[in-house]
A and B are shown apart, each in its own frame.
Chain A
C-alpha cells in the first residue's frame, strides 16, 4: 500500500530543509512514527502534527541536525497551512474498526 500524503510531505520537507538525503529523511520519519505507534501508510495530518511536536525533534537531534526544535516549529506551522491538502488517501485503520465495534 502507498504511503500517506502527509508522510510523503514531511519527508520531502526534511530533505529540503536539512542535510538528510531522501533515504535518511524517510527513515527518520518512519522511526518517529514507530515511536508514536503510527504507520507511514495511514498517518493523518493531525497525527503528524503531534509527532512533529513531541517526537521528531529528538530524532533529528540524534542525527546531528542543528536547531531541531526550531525546525520542528516551522514544520508544524507549514503543516497547519497545508493540512487540508494533505488529508487524502489514509486507509481505514484497525483502530477505526475497533472503535466502531465498541459502539463508540
Chain B
C-alpha cells in the first residue's frame, strides 16, 4: 500500500493540532472549563497521544527512550479521553447523576489501565491488544461516540431553532460537524481495533487497518476543520442555505 495511506493521518494530525492549540488559547482567555476540556481532548487523543505512540512504536535507534515516550503517549491519550468524558457530562448533562458516575468510572478505569501499563509492563508493552490497552481503547471509542450522539441530538434541536430565527445556522452546523468528526474518529478506532482482534494483525503493519483508520481520520479532519475553523465560503454557504429555508 502506497504512502497515500498517510494522507488521512497527516490531515487529522494537522487539523487536531491547529484546533487543539486554538481552543486552548481560547481557554486561557475565557477561563472557561469546556474550552480547556475540548483542547485537552483534541490534543491528547490526536497529535500528542497518537503522535508519540507512533514515534515510540517506530523507534529503533534508542530503545531506552521507548518506555518514556510510551508513558507520555498513554498519559496524553488518557487525559484526552477523560477530558472528553468530563466535557460530555458538564456541557450536555451538568446536573445529571448517571453521566457523572459514568465519567467517574471512566477516570478510575483509565488510571488503572495507565498504572497497569507502568507497574506491570514498565511501559514497554505497546501492543494495542493487551487488556489494559483494550480498556483504554474502549473508553476512547465510548467517549467519542457518546460525544457524537449528544452533539447530533443537539443539532436536531438547533435546526428547529434556526427555522424560527432563534439560532445561528453556523453554530447549528458546528454541532453536526463535531458529531461527524467525533463519530468518524471513534468508529475508525473501533473498526481498527476489532479488525486487529479478529485477524491478530498488527495495526501499523496491516494495510487494511491502516487504510480504514486513515480514511476515518480524513473524514474526522474535514469535519472538525469545518466545525471549528470553517473557511469563509463554507460559512457563506451555510448562511445562504439557512436563508433559503
User: Does A70 sit within 8 A of B, measured CB to CB?
Assistant: no
- Interchain CB contact under 8 A, A101 and B23: yes
If A47-B166, A98-B178 touch, whether A37 touches B228 (CB-CB below 8 Å) is: no
User: Does A69 sit within 8 A of B, measured CB to CB?
Assistant: no
A66 → B minimal CB distance (Å) = 25
- Interchain CB contact under 8 A, A102 and B227: yes
Residues of B within 8 A of A71 (CB): none
Which chain B residue shows the least CB distance to A44?
Answer: B166
- Interchain CB contact under 8 A, B159 and A104: no
- Interchain CB contact under 8 A, B160 and A98: no
- Interchain CB contact under 8 A, A104 and B170: yes
Interface size on A, residues (CB 8 A): 23
Bound complex: CA of A37 vs CA of B171, how far in Å? 14
- Interchain CB contact under 8 A, B158 and A95: yes
15 contacts between A and B (CB under 8 A): A1-B94, A1-B95, A36-B166, A37-B167, A51-B164, A94-B91, A94-B154, A95-B167, A97-B35, A99-B171, A100-B26, A101-B34, A102-B170, A102-B228, A104-B168
Residue of A50, A97, A102 near B165 (CB, 8 A) is: A50
* Residue with the greatest number of chain B CB neighbours at <10 A, chosen from A54, A94, A103: A94
If A1-B95, A91-B94, A101-B34 touch, whether A37 touches B170 (CB-CB below 8 Å) is: no
If A97-B91, A99-B171 touch, whether A38 touches B157 (CB-CB below 8 Å) is: yes
User: Does A20 sit within 8 A of B, measured CB to CB?
Assistant: no
Interface residues of A (CB under 8 A from B): 1, 35-39, 47, 50-51, 54-55, 91-92, 94-95, 97-104
* Residue with the greatest number of chain A CB neighbours at <10 A, chosen from B34, B38, B164: B164
Bound complex: CA of A10 vs CA of B22, how far in Å? 41
A3 → B minimal CB distance (Å) = 12
A78 → B minimal CB distance (Å) = 20
Interface residues of B (CB under 8 A from A): 22-23, 26, 30, 32, 34-35, 38, 91-92, 94-95, 150, 154, 156-161, 164-168, 170-171, 174-175, 178, 227-228, 230
- Interchain CB contact under 8 A, A98 and B166: no
Bound complex: CA of A94 vs CA of B7, how far in Å? 32
- Interchain CB contact under 8 A, A37 and B91: no
Residues of B within 8 A of A50 (CB): 164-166
Residues of B within 8 A of A38 (CB): 157, 161, 166
New contact pairs (15) apart from A50-B166, A94-B92, CB-CB < 8 Å: A37-B156, A37-B159, A37-B161, A55-B164, A94-B154, A95-B171, A97-B32, A97-B34, A97-B35, A98-B178, A100-B26, A100-B30, A100-B34, A101-B174, A104-B170
